[in-house]
A and B are shown apart, each in its own frame.
Chain A
Amino acid sequence: MQNKAIDFKRQVNIKLADTKLQDALSRLQTRFVEGRSAVISEIHHLEDTRTAAAAIRDCVLNDLDSWLQKFEQQAIAHGAIVHWAETATDANRIVTEIAAQHNVLTAVKSKSMVSEECGLNDALEHAGIKVMETDLGEYILQLAHEAPSHIVAPVVHKNKEEISDLFAEKHQMSRKTGIAELCLEAREILRPAFLNADMGISGANFLIAETGSVLIVTNEGNGRLVTTLPRVHVAITGIEKVVPTLEDVTTLLRLLPRSATGQSITNYVSVLTGNKDAKAHDGPEHFHIILLDNGRSSLIGGEMQEMLRCIRCGACMNHCPVYQNIGGHAYGWVYPGPMGSILTPLLSGLKSSPDLPNASTFCGACAAVCPVKIPLPDLLRNLRTRQMALGLKSRQEVLMLKVWGWLTLHPRIYALATKIGVRILAMMGGERHLLHTLPGATGWTDGRDFPAPSGKTFREMYRKKSTK
């Protein structure tokens, strides 16, 4: 998928003015923030569990090559075929080749952010394969030709009226207005697609090294249908998703749905190991697993490695006051919110995502809820430091920081400068002690007054007082 993060600032203004979107985003608070808070406390030793989860992820990442090989060995031993893809283009090519090899004409997909990362649907359509998204949200987006705006609730930006209109237009059926009716209509349209598809494509929430299994969590059941009915199943996922044992994955499972949707467990957790044996009635005859790097390996061993702990729950964006106000599309690539503001520059280019590391107040709400304790603000700050080192910051900002840095290290001149500064601003503030506009800070004063300083600095007053 093309990175459009360069357009962030303009998009922010569009999104802030979009009242329908604002209305839709208000549901994040009740459904996801309150939902999480209601069930996360069910975990008896929450802090210990988060710590254990982070340790499991670190254990794998610190020895990722060995764990990947262990996973591969076990997966192959159980009948899966493992492919490695260095780039998104490679991954698309591999899926297309698998499709050709098995004479695949139609494919059904369950939700996969990695496939969004690759732009897989376009690649398959280009190769003449009909692909149908089956996660309700992703299906709606496919009809609307839009990208997901949330990694768990992809269509959170749309209201049901828009979906009613879309279904009526695309399905050529009478317009349904109830949510249950809309769901039923999608079910009835998609059921034949499941039954007739040659290939099922899924992501993987985790790869289990012990058994060589792919683990998928879903609620709708489409994940099960996609991985049970078609004769070929392709699971595509990032190389960082390995977890050592079934016990370890259990620890992560206690956190994932609770953090994501406020569920104690998703309706379905499927652990898929190998292809079907000859006697079985269902299951794919061919099970392919694609392990995608696409820049992930460059995070290993460095100051950004902790980002690879991410289990894609979306809690960071649900709790992010920036995301809550602009939604996911403004971020310009596959992953929005705090995790996206880190992953997009890392996987898709820091230079083409100049705003993402900076569009954060460092409020820390994301890190406080992250189930695997990723220090998201620290990682964002690391990216800002990289921007500074690489000369990607505006000259004006660099100059201001230089001047400020110099002043603060020269206390006498600092004292003089602040003394003069506060007097001028105090004067400008007038009787109401408010500045309605401030040159160089219109970003502030366009929407807020700037309260004027009171006219003297603490340090001069204190010195006067103590020398009296």
Chain B
Amino acid sequence: MSARDNILSKIREARSSAPQNVPAAPIANYLALHQRGPSPPPPDDLVTGFKKRAIKLSSDVLETSVRMEVPALLAHYLEERKLPLRGVCWTSLVGLPWGAAGLEMLPNPATNQDMVGVTGAFCAIAETGTLMMLSGAETPASTSLLPETHVAVLDPLRIVATMEDAWDLLRLEYKQPPRAVNFISGPSRTADIEQTVTLGAHGPYRVLVILAPP
């Protein structure tokens, strides 16, 4: 017998001798329900709630009502921090006036040399101040991972209240999950040395969320 069969039959045998272990319902029924556990009440305002949480987790948040102003906002942010004015962006963002703002943004997946990575986001979650990113051909995961600065341009209408709402949105818009769903909640950090939090471990040192309409 294979290891698989051995393990499964061991479990089955142990289960049958334990009368209390009666499966509640067939698995298919259980899965179809997508039953939610206790979840937090939605914030009064999703955008305010998201911002509050994101900032608490050391993300920076900027807002504009004019999408075309995103490059200028970013340029100002980078200049203020004396960061490089060039980087890579998702292809969906290539049409923004980067050059006019003095930025050089190439529509490539990030490599180790790229210092700034600009992405969109599938949605964001107010409950935890989290960006939800889906990997894909046009939405490479490396752009939010390798550069020291990760910038996410987020449509404020894509902020949902809870993690469960985010899963529902995913199911609504995609038939199956992408290779990687990443929840990003602030810059990478470690507290392994003396339990002292240090920002910028192996991933980005800073995460900037720019709220802008599509």
Chain A residues packing against B (C-beta within 8 Å): 24, 27-28, 30-32, 42-45, 48-49, 52-53, 56, 59, 61-70, 78, 84-86, 90, 134-137, 140, 153-156, 159-160, 163, 179-180, 182-184, 187, 190-191, 194-195, 209-211, 213, 219-222, 224-225, 227-229, 239, 244-248, 250-251, 253-254, 261, 264-277, 279-283, 291, 293, 297-298, 300-302, 305
Would you call A269 and B182 a contact (CB within 8 A)? yes
With A and B bound together, what is the CA distance between A155 and B187 in angstroms? 22
Would you call A220 and B189 a contact (CB within 8 A)? yes
| Nearest CB of A to B120, in Å | 16
Would you call A245 and B31 a contact (CB within 8 A)? yes
Stretch at the interface among B60-68, B69-77, B139-147, B151-159: B139-147
Would you call B163 and A250 a contact (CB within 8 A)? yes
The residues of B that contact A135 with a CB separation of less than 8 Å are 192
Would you call A136 and B23 a contact (CB within 8 A)? no
With A and B bound together, what is the CA distance between A401 and B35 in angstroms? 50
With A and B bound together, what is the CA distance between A301 and B180 in angstroms? 35
The residue that B38 contacts in the complex, of A49, A184, A224, A283, with Cβ under 8 A, is A49
Would you call A271 and B177 a contact (CB within 8 A)? yes
Q: 21 A-B pairs, CB-CB below 8 angstroms? A: A27-B195, A53-B37, A59-B23, A66-B23, A85-B3, A155-B192, A160-B193, A180-B198, A183-B200, A184-B200, A187-B200, A221-B201, A245-B34, A250-B39, A265-B183, A268-B188, A269-B130, A271-B177, A277-B179, A293-B3, A301-B16
With A and B bound together, what is the CA distance between A180 and B31 in angstroms? 45
The residues of B that contact A225 with a CB separation of less than 8 Å are 145, 202-203
With A and B bound together, what is the CA distance between A160 and B41 in angstroms? 42
With A and B bound together, what is the CA distance between A84 and B5 in angstroms? 9
The residue that A222 contacts in the complex, of B27, B177, B200, B202, with Cβ under 8 A, is B202
The residue that A268 contacts in the complex, of B12, B17, B18, B203, with Cβ under 8 A, is B203
Q: How large is the interface on B (under 10, 10 to 19, 20 to 34, 35 or more residues)?
A: 35 or more
With A and B bound together, what is the CA distance between A31 and B196 in angstroms? 8
The residues of B that contact A159 with a CB separation of less than 8 Å are 194
Q: Does B190 sit within 8 A of A, measured CB to CB? A: yes
**Contact A182 B179, CB 8 Å, known A86-B6, A250-B37, A281-B142:** no
Q: Does B185 sit within 8 A of A, measured CB to CB? A: yes
**Which residues from 45 to 100 on chain B have a C-beta closer than 8 Å to any C-beta of chain A?**
53, 57
The residue that A179 contacts in the complex, of B38, B178, B193, with Cβ under 8 A, is B193
The residues of B that contact A61 with a CB separation of less than 8 Å are 21
B interface SS class:
loop
With A and B bound together, what is the CA distance between A380 and B131 in angstroms? 41
Closest residue of chain B to A68 (Cβ to Cβ) is: B8
Would you call A179 and B196 a contact (CB within 8 A)? yes
The residues of A that contact B172 with a CB separation of less than 8 Å are none
**Contact A267 B193, CB 8 Å, known A194-B202, A225-B145, A273-B177:** no
The residue that B137 contacts in the complex, of A45, A251, A279, with Cβ under 8 A, is A279
The residue that B40 contacts in the complex, of A43, A154, A155, with Cβ under 8 A, is A43
A-B contacts at CB below 8 angstroms, number? 271
**Contact A271 B180, CB 8 Å, known A183-B200, A220-B189, A221-B202:** yes
Chain B residues packing against A (C-beta within 8 Å): 2-4, 6-8, 10-12, 14-18, 20-24, 27, 30-31, 34-41, 53, 57, 109, 112, 128, 130, 135-137, 140-142, 145, 162-164, 167, 176-196, 198, 200-204
| Nearest CB of B to A297, in Å | 4
The residues of A that contact B176 with a CB separation of less than 8 Å are 78, 211, 273
The residue that A272 contacts in the complex, of B180, B188, B189, with Cβ under 8 A, is B180
**Contact A90 B198, CB 8 Å, known A65-B15, A219-B189, A261-B191:** no
New contact pairs (10) apart from A44-B38, A210-B31, A273-B181, CB-CB < 8 Å: A48-B38, A63-B21, A63-B27, A136-B193, A182-B193, A191-B112, A224-B141, A280-B140, A280-B179, A300-B15
Would you call A59 and B24 a contact (CB within 8 A)? yes
| Nearest CB of B to A55, in Å | 9
Would you call A221 and B145 a contact (CB within 8 A)? yes
With A and B bound together, what is the CA distance between A56 and B37 in angstroms? 9
**Contact A302 B141, CB 8 Å, known A183-B193, A253-B163, A274-B179:** no
Would you call B201 and A187 a contact (CB within 8 A)? yes
**Contact A220 B195, CB 8 Å, known A250-B37, A267-B187:** no
Would you call B198 and A183 a contact (CB within 8 A)? yes
